[in-house]
Amino acid sequence: MAQLAKSNVFSSLNFGSVDDMNFALVELGDHIKQNGEEPGDELVNPDKYEEIDSTLVKLLRDKMQQALDRPALTEQKPEAALTEQSPQVLATNEEYNRDRLSGLTNVLTQLGFEIGMMVGTALSEEKWDAIEEAYEQNDQRRLTEFVKSHQTEFESVEVMLASLDSKRASRRAGTLGKLNELGDLGNLRDRRTKVLTR
């Protein structure tokens, strides 16, 4: 039994779309149920399958041909026939649509969950990045203040040392002059010479 892609089959059966063919498969499954047989999942939930068995294609084609070949009921008014058949068709379509809606709801719920996780992660990352940036800016500010305060202290010590060097140089010059004056023994030499030459 060959499997055929529904996208390649629906137009050959004169359906407008794959969805239209799926509706017909559901109705075929209902017809099989009415005959006391159990239809396969391909007829109960056709939207779950992208492929269709070739025997189902033949069976669907035969049922459609039987419907075309069936003589019109002259004793029934068209409105009466429509009213009589509509509930079953509508019930089938409602069941099929309910299943499709349930699947769509599941997909949207999962999609919402994934998007919510992404948004939550992005907000969390953004918050932590802002906190990290604030800490970095605070650290930079504190480091700048620390460097500036110690630079000022360094400059004041530099000025103080320059002043001390100036005072020391001045004092040493004065002390050296006094020591030279005290150490000048020229007067004593003259006196010694005078005494020794008398």
Residue 57 has pLDDT above 60, yes or no: yes
Query: Which position has the higher pLDDT, 85 or 122?
Result: 122
pLDDT digits (tens, 9 = 90+) for 126-179: 888 888 888 888 888 888 888 888 888 888 888 999 998 888 888 777 777 777
Instruction: Kindly tell me the sign of the dihedral angle through the C-alpha atoms of 44, 47, 51, 57.
Output: positive
Contact 25, 72 (CB under 8 A): no
Tell me the helix, strand and coil percentages in the chain, rounded to 5: 85, 5, 15
List the Cα angle 77/64/8 in 5-degree steps: 140
Assess whether pLDDT exceeds 60 at residue 79.
Answer: no
Q: What tens digit of pLDDT does each residue of 12-26 get? A: 887 888 888 888 888
Residue found under tokens 């009921």: 73
Q: How far separated are the first and last CA of the chain, in Å rounded?
A: 158
Distance CA 5, CA 51 (A): 4
Helical packing angle, 18-34 and 78-182, nearest 10°: 130
Mean pLDDT across the chain: 78
Q: How far is CA 84 from CA 31, 78, 81, in A?
A: 16, 10, 5
d(CA 137, CA 125): 18
| pLDDT-above-70 percentage for the chain | 77
Out of 18-27, 67-76, 188-197, give the one with best mean pLDDT.
Answer: 18-27
Residue 142 CA to its chain's centroid (Å): 35
Give dist(CA 156, CA 150) in Å, integer: 10
